[in-house]
Protein backbone atom coordinates (compact mmCIF):
# COMPACT_ATOMS: atom_id res chain seq x y z
CA UNK A 1 0.00 0.00 0.00
CA UNK A 2 2.89 2.32 0.78
CA UNK A 3 4.38 1.49 -2.62
CA UNK A 4 1.22 2.70 -4.35
CA UNK A 5 1.35 5.96 -2.39
CA UNK A 6 4.98 6.39 -3.48
CA UNK A 7 4.01 5.52 -7.06
CA UNK A 8 1.23 8.12 -7.19
CA UNK A 9 3.36 10.77 -5.48
CA UNK A 10 6.28 10.21 -7.83
CA UNK A 11 4.18 10.41 -11.01
CA UNK A 12 2.00 13.31 -9.88
CA UNK A 13 4.96 15.43 -8.81
CA UNK A 14 6.99 14.25 -11.79
CA UNK A 15 4.26 15.77 -13.97
CA UNK A 16 5.08 19.19 -12.55
CA UNK A 17 8.82 18.96 -13.28
CA UNK A 18 8.37 19.39 -17.07
CA UNK A 19 11.41 17.76 -18.62
CA UNK A 20 13.67 18.40 -15.65
CA UNK A 21 13.48 22.19 -15.98
CA UNK A 22 11.64 22.67 -12.68
CA UNK A 23 12.30 21.00 -9.34
CA UNK A 24 9.35 20.10 -7.15
CA UNK A 25 10.02 19.78 -3.42
CA UNK A 26 13.71 19.78 -4.25
CA UNK A 27 13.57 16.88 -6.72
CA UNK A 28 13.84 16.98 -10.48
CA UNK A 29 12.24 14.52 -12.88
CA UNK A 30 15.12 12.10 -12.24
CA UNK A 31 14.54 12.33 -8.49
CA UNK A 32 10.82 11.61 -8.73
CA UNK A 33 11.46 8.70 -11.09
CA UNK A 34 13.87 7.34 -8.46
CA UNK A 35 10.97 7.43 -5.98
CA UNK A 36 9.03 5.36 -8.55
CA UNK A 37 11.86 2.79 -8.35
CA UNK A 38 11.22 2.40 -4.62
CA UNK A 39 7.54 1.85 -5.39
CA UNK A 40 8.38 -0.84 -7.96
CA UNK A 41 10.58 -2.62 -5.41
CA UNK A 42 7.68 -2.61 -2.95
CA UNK A 43 5.37 -4.04 -5.66
CA UNK A 44 7.88 -6.86 -6.13
CA UNK A 45 7.71 -7.47 -2.37
CA UNK A 46 3.91 -7.56 -2.48
CA UNK A 47 3.99 -9.98 -5.39
CA UNK A 48 6.34 -12.22 -3.41
CA UNK A 49 3.93 -12.05 -0.46
CA UNK A 50 1.00 -13.13 -2.63
CA UNK A 51 3.07 -15.96 -4.10
CA UNK A 52 4.20 -17.10 -0.64
CA UNK A 53 0.63 -17.03 0.64
CA UNK A 54 -0.60 -19.52 -1.93
CA UNK A 55 2.53 -21.40 -3.02
CA UNK A 56 1.41 -24.65 -1.44
CA UNK A 57 -2.14 -24.51 -2.83
CA UNK A 58 -1.67 -23.17 -6.35
CA UNK A 59 -0.24 -25.00 -9.30
CA UNK A 60 2.11 -24.41 -12.19
CA UNK A 61 -0.09 -21.77 -13.83
CA UNK A 62 0.19 -19.58 -10.73
CA UNK A 63 3.96 -20.02 -10.72
CA UNK A 64 4.15 -19.01 -14.40
CA UNK A 65 1.90 -16.03 -13.63
CA UNK A 66 4.12 -15.05 -10.71
CA UNK A 67 7.27 -15.28 -12.85
CA UNK A 68 5.66 -13.34 -15.71
CA UNK A 69 4.47 -10.57 -13.40
CA UNK A 70 7.86 -10.51 -11.69
CA UNK A 71 9.56 -10.24 -15.08
CA UNK A 72 7.30 -7.31 -15.94
CA UNK A 73 8.07 -5.49 -12.69
CA UNK A 74 11.82 -6.10 -12.99
CA UNK A 75 11.75 -4.91 -16.62
CA UNK A 76 9.96 -1.72 -15.53
CA UNK A 77 12.48 -1.16 -12.75
CA UNK A 78 15.48 -1.82 -15.01
CA UNK A 79 13.95 0.32 -17.76
CA UNK A 80 13.41 3.22 -15.39
CA UNK A 81 17.02 3.00 -14.19
CA UNK A 82 18.41 2.66 -17.72
CA UNK A 83 16.28 5.53 -19.02
CA UNK A 84 17.75 8.07 -16.60
CA UNK A 85 21.26 6.78 -16.05
CA UNK A 86 22.24 5.10 -19.33
CA UNK A 87 20.11 5.84 -22.42
CA UNK A 88 16.49 6.88 -22.78
CA UNK A 89 15.42 4.80 -25.81
CA UNK A 90 16.25 1.31 -24.50
CA UNK A 91 15.09 2.27 -21.02
CA UNK A 92 11.72 3.51 -22.22
CA UNK A 93 11.31 0.37 -24.32
CA UNK A 94 12.08 -1.90 -21.35
CA UNK A 95 9.59 -0.01 -19.19
CA UNK A 96 6.91 -0.40 -21.86
CA UNK A 97 7.65 -4.12 -22.26
CA UNK A 98 7.40 -4.57 -18.49
CA UNK A 99 4.09 -2.74 -18.41
CA UNK A 100 2.75 -4.88 -21.25
CA UNK A 101 3.91 -8.20 -19.73
CA UNK A 102 2.33 -7.63 -16.31
CA UNK A 103 -1.34 -7.99 -17.28
CA UNK A 104 -0.57 -11.41 -18.76
CA UNK A 105 1.15 -12.48 -15.56
CA UNK A 106 -1.58 -11.07 -13.34
CA UNK A 107 -4.27 -12.89 -15.27
CA UNK A 108 -2.30 -16.16 -15.10
CA UNK A 109 -1.76 -15.59 -11.38
CA UNK A 110 -5.34 -14.47 -10.82
CA UNK A 111 -7.13 -17.70 -11.72
CA UNK A 112 -5.21 -19.94 -9.27
CA UNK A 113 -5.29 -17.29 -6.52
CA UNK A 114 -9.07 -17.10 -6.93
CA UNK A 115 -9.41 -20.88 -6.70
CA UNK A 116 -6.90 -21.31 -3.84
CA UNK A 117 -8.92 -19.09 -1.45
CA UNK A 118 -5.81 -17.48 0.01
CA UNK A 119 -7.05 -13.91 -0.10
CA UNK A 120 -10.10 -12.57 1.72
CA UNK A 121 -13.36 -13.32 -0.08
CA UNK A 122 -13.77 -9.75 -1.40
CA UNK A 123 -10.23 -9.75 -2.81
CA UNK A 124 -10.11 -13.10 -4.60
CA UNK A 125 -10.94 -11.63 -8.03
CA UNK A 126 -8.57 -8.66 -7.60
CA UNK A 127 -5.43 -10.01 -9.36
CA UNK A 128 -7.51 -11.25 -12.28
CA UNK A 129 -9.55 -8.05 -12.54
CA UNK A 130 -6.48 -5.84 -12.11
CA UNK A 131 -4.67 -7.67 -14.89
CA UNK A 132 -7.69 -7.47 -17.20
CA UNK A 133 -8.30 -3.75 -16.60
CA UNK A 134 -4.62 -2.87 -16.99
CA UNK A 135 -4.37 -4.97 -20.15
CA UNK A 136 -7.47 -3.34 -21.63
CA UNK A 137 -6.16 0.15 -20.90
CA UNK A 138 -2.83 -0.67 -22.54
CA UNK A 139 -4.59 -2.08 -25.62
CA UNK A 140 -6.61 1.13 -25.92
CA UNK A 141 -3.41 3.18 -25.65
CA UNK A 142 -1.68 1.10 -28.33
CA UNK A 143 -4.66 1.23 -30.70
CA UNK A 144 -4.90 4.99 -30.30
CA UNK A 145 -1.15 5.29 -30.89
CA UNK A 146 -1.41 3.15 -34.04
CA UNK A 147 -4.31 5.32 -35.25
CA UNK A 148 -2.09 8.37 -34.98
CA UNK A 149 -3.71 9.98 -31.94
CA UNK A 150 -1.04 12.33 -30.65
CA UNK A 151 -2.33 13.57 -27.31
CA UNK A 152 -2.58 10.51 -25.06
CA UNK A 153 -1.09 12.05 -21.96
CA UNK A 154 -4.36 12.00 -19.99
CA UNK A 155 -5.03 8.35 -20.83
CA UNK A 156 -1.46 7.45 -19.90
CA UNK A 157 -1.85 9.22 -16.56
CA UNK A 158 -5.05 7.26 -15.91
CA UNK A 159 -3.21 4.02 -16.77
CA UNK A 160 -0.33 4.89 -14.41
CA UNK A 161 -2.71 5.80 -11.59
CA UNK A 162 -4.72 2.60 -12.19
CA UNK A 163 -1.48 0.63 -12.04
CA UNK A 164 -0.79 2.09 -8.58
CA UNK A 165 -4.38 1.56 -7.45
CA UNK A 166 -4.28 -2.10 -8.49
CA UNK A 167 -1.11 -2.73 -6.51
CA UNK A 168 -2.56 -0.87 -3.52
CA UNK A 169 -5.67 -3.08 -3.51
CA UNK A 170 -3.50 -6.20 -3.86
CA UNK A 171 -1.35 -5.04 -0.95
CA UNK A 172 -4.36 -4.31 1.21
CA UNK A 173 -5.89 -7.69 0.34
CA UNK A 174 -2.70 -9.47 1.35
CA UNK A 175 -2.33 -7.42 4.51
CA UNK A 176 -5.96 -7.72 5.61
CA UNK A 177 -6.04 -11.47 4.98
CA UNK A 178 -2.98 -12.27 7.04
CA UNK A 179 -3.46 -13.67 10.53
CA UNK A 180 -0.63 -12.75 12.88
CA UNK A 181 -1.52 -15.58 15.26
CA UNK A 182 -1.44 -18.37 12.72
CA UNK A 183 1.09 -16.92 10.30
CA UNK A 184 -1.15 -17.97 7.42
CA UNK A 185 -3.75 -16.19 5.37
CA UNK A 186 -6.95 -15.55 7.27
CA UNK A 187 -9.65 -17.42 5.37
CA UNK A 188 -12.48 -15.82 7.32
CA UNK A 189 -11.61 -12.20 6.54
CA UNK A 190 -14.24 -10.62 4.37
pLDDT tens digits, 73-114: 999 889 888 877 776 677 778 888 888 888 888 888 877 777
* pLDDT of 2 above 70: yes
Q: According to the model, what pLDDT value does residue 68 have?
A: 92
Q: According to the model, what pLDDT value does residue 124 have?
A: 74
* pLDDT of 41 above 80: yes
Average pLDDT over residues 50-65: 77
Percent of the chain with pLDDT over 90: 4
* pLDDT of 67 above 80: yes
Average pLDDT over residues 171-177: 73
DSSP codes, the chain: -HHHHHHHHHHHHHHTTTTTTS-BTTB-HHHHHHHHHHHHHHHHHHHHHHHHHHTTT--HHHHHHHHHHHHHHHHHHHHHHHHHHT-HHHHHHHHHHHHHHHHHHHHHHHHHHHHHT-S-GGGTTHHHHHHHHHHHHHHHHHHHHHTT----HHHHHHHHHHHHHHHHHHHHHHHHTEETTTTEE-TT--
* pLDDT of 71 above 90: yes
What would the pLDDT profile of 105-143 be if each residue is shown by its tens digit?
A: 888 887 777 777 767 777 777 777 878 888 888 888 778
Higher pLDDT, 32 or 67: 67
Average pLDDT over residues 20-38: 67
Q: According to the model, what pLDDT value does residue 31 have?
A: 62
Q: According to the model, what pLDDT value does residue 17 have?
A: 66
Amino acid sequence: MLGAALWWTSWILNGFTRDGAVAVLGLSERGWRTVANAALVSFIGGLAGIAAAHASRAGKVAFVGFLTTLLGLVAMLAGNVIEFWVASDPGGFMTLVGLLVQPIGLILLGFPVFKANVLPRWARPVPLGFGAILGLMLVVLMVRQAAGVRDQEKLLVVALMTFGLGWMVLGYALWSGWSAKKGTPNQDAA
